[in-house]
Chain A
Amino acid sequence: MNVAIIDYGMSNLGSINNALIECGGENVSIISNPEDFKNATHIILPGVGSFKDGMTNLKDLCWIKPLRKTVIEDKVPLLGICLGMQLLADKGFEGGEIDGLGLIHGTVEKLKPVDNKEKIPHVGWNEIYSKTKSPILENIPDGTDYYFVHSYHFIPRSVKNILTTTPYCGNFVSSVISDNIFGTQFHPEKSQRPGFQLLKNFLNL
């Protein structure tokens, strides 16, 4: 096992690195050069910040081509977390209309509260409910709480790509799936045991 965490300058990687090691990840490394991740068996795309800055950095650091190749052609499992999940989409609207990685069809738009009790950003612990069966959700019961902190959400074009939804702003999509590609809007590395369970499941893929 070679777990590669992509460092494109968009977040601290200490806690995800340590969480993966705690979860039994072997040869976990933070990779800042696209040349260095050829042997990866699992890829983590983390990220905090705006869609625009995220895509700009991925582009400037020459990540887009090797990332797409490894994930699409070599079918290496990828987990995008928070902004890393949003960047999987075709387009985002944070900081203007920006093209995403296009790995899962859909757009990233601002959350719309359904009543004045729902505050934006959506910050805190909230439940996830499975919409698609997947080994990545093994031993995670419906209603388990994960930690969220975001103002934008992923709207997949096809319902087939919805892995879980979360009861906020009219049940937004809190994680996505497409073959070997996964994305969670929540932070498994900040969600204690339930987060570790999800990371373990991912590493077992």
Chain B
Amino acid sequence: MLKVRVIPTLLWKDVGLVKGIGFDSWRRVGSLLPAIRVYNTRQVDELILVDITATADNHKLDLETISEMSCECFVPFTVGGGIKKVDDIKQLLRAGADKVAINSAAYDDPTIITEGAKLFGSQCIVASIDAKKNKDGKYICYSHAGKKKRNIEVSVWAKKLEELGAGEILITSIEKDGTMDGYDINLIKAVTNVVSIPVIASGGAGSYEDLYQAISKGKASAVAAASIFHYTEQTPMEAKGYLHSKKIPVRINRIS
């Protein structure tokens, strides 16, 4: 049976590993390479690395660093941040990313998803959506690390991204991000209800139960989390033990 994935998210800003709250007040929490080495030994199912300042600052992808990271990464490695054109996808895949996460660029030029999927396969195109709830209770998309409001509802955009050829959707709640008080289950459902591709839930995980809720109620195929692993004693391995006890199929390593 296909396993539900537990994925630590690594946010990268000016050569350090950071974590913020609500896409703001970033704190440095360590260095990238040691973090990847540690996660390699802790049975994580995948890693997501996002350069959070790449789009806003308009700086180039740091391919050398990504190549260094990917050589040390023996689990699937998704890289995002600052991808603007199809050639960026190519460069990142050549540098060792297994998948790329595309967010802001898809609003301005949706063909990046279609072209990327056609050239490299939809399995390596992760479409990332950052969202906030508006005062009418509707989920609205934001780009540029949460700074730019897009007048499109999450469920509409998610469906569109699937049609364009995205292989997976990473859905992040801007309001919940870094709060550690649980995922926005309704936001996850707004996506899983309309697409048939795998959905990765992100933003708000503070306990193993939160991960369970995103999977059981939100119907997520994978759960991404950062603060829970940076700031608490909780680990991906224990998270999987908890999910296993709740009858969620997870990967338990049989070979040591």
Residues of chain A at the chain B interface (Cβ within 8 Å) = 11-12, 14-15, 17-19, 22, 48-50, 116, 118-119, 121-127, 139-141, 143-145, 147, 149-151, 167-168, 187, 189-197
Contacts and interface: CB of A to CB of B under 8 A. Distances in A.
A192 B43 contact: yes
A18 B98 contact: no
Contacts of A124: 2-5, 45, 198, 221-222
Interface of B: 1-5, 40, 43, 45, 67, 70-77, 93-99, 119-124, 167-168, 196-198, 221-222, 251-256
A14 B121 contact: no
A15 B251 contact: no
Contact of A121 (B4, B45, B95, B123): B123
12 contacts: A11-B93, A12-B95, A18-B71, A22-B74, A49-B120, A119-B221, A125-B3, A139-B255, A191-B75, A192-B74, A192-B75, A193-B253
Given A121-B122, A121-B123, A124-B2, A12 B255 contact: no
Contacts of A22: 74
Contacts of A151: 121-123
Of A49, A116, A139, most B-chain CB atoms within 10 Å: A49
Contact of B255 (A123, A144, A168): A144
A145 B96 contact: no
Query: Which one of B2, B67, B93 has the highest number of Cβ atoms from chain A below 10 Å of its Cβ?
Result: B2
Contacts of A11: 93
B255 A197 contact: yes
